[in-house]
Amino acid sequence: MALSREQIAQRVAQELHDGYYVNLGIGIPTLVANYVPTDIEVMLQSENGLLGMGQFPTEDEIDADLINAGKQTVTMAKGASIFDSAESFAMIRGGHVDLTVLGAFEVDVNGNIASYMIPGKLIKGMGGAMDLVAGADNIIVTMTHASKHGVSKLLSNCSLPLTGKGCIKKVLTDLAFIEIKDGKFYLLERAPGVSIEEIVKLTDGELVVHDNVPEMQF
Amino acid sequence: MAGFDKVVSSYEEAMAGLEDNMTVIAGGFGLCGIPENLIAEIKRKGTKGLTLVSNNCGVDDFGLGVLLPDRQIKKIVASYVGENAEFERQMMAGELEVELTPQGTLAEKMRAGGAGIPAFFTATGYGTPVAEGKEERNFNGRDYILEESITGDFAIVKAWKADRYGNLVFRKTARNFNPLAATAGKITVVEVEEIVEVGELDPDQIHTPGIYVNRLILGTFEKRIEQRTVRQSSHNSAE
């Protein structure tokens, strides 16, 4: 069965390592914070200028001067630091953030990502996404494998305007965990109960499937 | 006003000299750390044809959004917009020019502008619509685009605390773009929650030195929250 949003987040959380500085995008990526293994320490970076983001505040703790990049009120974790936006993106562009997790509309076999703009529809902007995909080495894209109408989001060539070129190596969808290299998708894992045939059918770009693709473990 | 004392006593005085068609750089992220009373003064003055440089453009009735109904903004340079209906309407109708700029590039444009650096290379935006018309160059096997810096006729800034010389301290994530905006204005105007006497701030704890600040005013702030998000108990969950 296809993974729920929570299960996608849960599987991404397995890619966290002790001592990682991590930037989580809006949507499913935000949920990853709920599944950090208890035996490791990670620090969340919020690009509006906070390293060491804590949980949401209680009613009493709400502070208008303390928000995350999604403009939600937050708290600071122990050991947090605050800085301006240029410093924040120096961390991101300088490759100091260990893992970035963000959503997308489309990803293709060359590691291109489209995530901010659908021509003809309202364009709200890229925010920090272009900086994050250009600056991070270790990126996981989370998205549904295909649209509600069964149109693949894993393509030979992105059809929408790009957020970044040649920068994505890993994609976790509701059906599969996929690696991108040498201009191809490689099927690393499949969601429990999802057949390889179904994944192949919903993957538009070239997909390499080795024997015995394991199911994801939770 | 004497010596290094930057304090002015009215918002009219704070924004004196702002004229039609000028460029204004504003600090703030969403509605956090925005110079809300300086924005209100621009609305009151009715200055038109402004180019605004800011990460966002406020909401319908707060922040930079209040400058939209009277069509005071000609162009906005921002990374994320459209949290308000009037903005959307003006953008779709072609009445408002929008230059979408990646957030880190926008911050660096302000920083570079304030530091006398005319342009810089960045990998951000390479191969995307942002790169159109820009010089590209390869350094050590990686592709970059040339981005020009930004300076403003005015910069409007919100800080937490200042001394009379304009040395500034920001509070929590209300810092965001404010220290960068402060460096990039020909005239930098700062509004704060508290002004202390010179010597009261620890020099080691000053975020923005007073050299960048031209005018300083004491204000009171609404500090509206855009996404009030709370957790119910001490349960360890982000939702």
Torsion angle in degrees (nearest 10) through CA of A89, A92, A95, A96: 100
Q: What pLDDT, on the 0 to 100 scale, is given for residue B234?
A: 54
Does A137 touch chain B if contact means CB atoms closer than 8 Å? Answer: no
* Beta-strand pair A106-108/A154-155: parallel
CB atoms within 10 A of CB B96: 20
Shortest Cα distance, chain B CAs vs residue A218, angstroms: 19
Across the interface, whether the CB atoms of A48 and B173 are under 8 A apart is answered: yes
A141-169 pLDDT, tens digit per residue, is 999 999 999 999 999 999 999 999 999 99
Tell me the ipTM for this assembly.
0.95
Closest by Cα among A68, A52, A163 to A114: A163
- Residue A155 contacts by C-beta under 8 Å, 6 or more apart in sequence? A106, A107, A108, A109, A204, A205
In tens digits, what is the pLDDT along chain B, a chain of 239 residues?
479 999 999 999 999 999 999 999 999 999 999 999 999 999 999 999 999 999 999 999 999 999 999 999 999 999 999 788 899 889 889 999 999 999 999 999 999 999 999 999 999 999 999 999 999 999 999 999 999 999 999 999 999 999 999 999 999 999 999 999 999 999 999 999 999 999 999 999 999 999 999 999 999 999 999 999 999 765 444 44
Q: Chain A contacts of B234, Cβ < 8 Å?
A: 58
CA distances from B167 to B199, B209, B212, B218, B235 (A): 10, 5, 9, 14, 41
Percent of chain A at pLDDT exceeding 70: 100
User: Chain-centre distance of CA B89, in angstroms?
Assistant: 23
Give the amino acid at A218: F
Across the interface, whether the CB atoms of B103 and A65 are under 8 A apart is answered: no
Q: Chain A contacts of B238, Cβ < 8 Å?
A: 30-31, 33-34, 55-56
- Residue B160 contacts by C-beta under 8 Å, 6 or more apart in sequence? A65, B169, B170, B171, B174, B192, B193, B194
Helix runs in chain B, H state only: 11-14, 36-45, 85-92, 103-114, 178-183
Supply the mean pLDDT for chain A. 96
Q: What pLDDT, on the 0 to 100 scale, is given for residue B237?
A: 46
Q: Chain A contacts of B62, Cβ < 8 Å?
A: none
Q: Are A77 and A47 in contact (CB under 8 A)?
A: no
Q: What pLDDT, on the 0 to 100 scale, is given for residue A123?
A: 81
Q: What pLDDT, on the 0 to 100 scale, is given for residue B1?
A: 47
DSSP 3-state assignment of A152?
strand
CA distances from B209 to B115, B167, B172 (A): 14, 5, 18
| Segment holding A8, helix H or strand E | helix A5-13
φ and ψ at B43, to 5 degrees? -65, -45
Q: How confident is the model at residue A119 (pLDDT cuts 50, 70, 90)?
A: confident
pTM above 0.90, yes or no: yes
- Residue A13 contacts by C-beta under 8 Å, 6 or more apart in sequence? A32, A35, A36, A37
Q: Is B45 exposed, middle or buried (0-12, 13-18, 19+ CB in 10 A)?
A: middle
Across the interface, whether the CB atoms of A73 and B178 are under 8 A apart is answered: no
Residues of A annotated as catalytic are 47
- Residue A4 contacts by C-beta under 8 Å, 6 or more apart in sequence? A174
Report, as an integer, the average pLDDT of A77-99: 97
Query: Cα separation of A164 and A104, whole Å?
Result: 11
The token pair at A59 is 């009613």
Across the interface, whether the CB atoms of B104 and A163 are under 8 A apart is answered: no
Query: Cα separation of B51 and B126, whole Å?
Result: 25
CB atoms within 10 A of CB B71: 13
The token pair at A195 is 């057949």
Query: Cα separation of B189 and B103, whole Å?
Result: 23
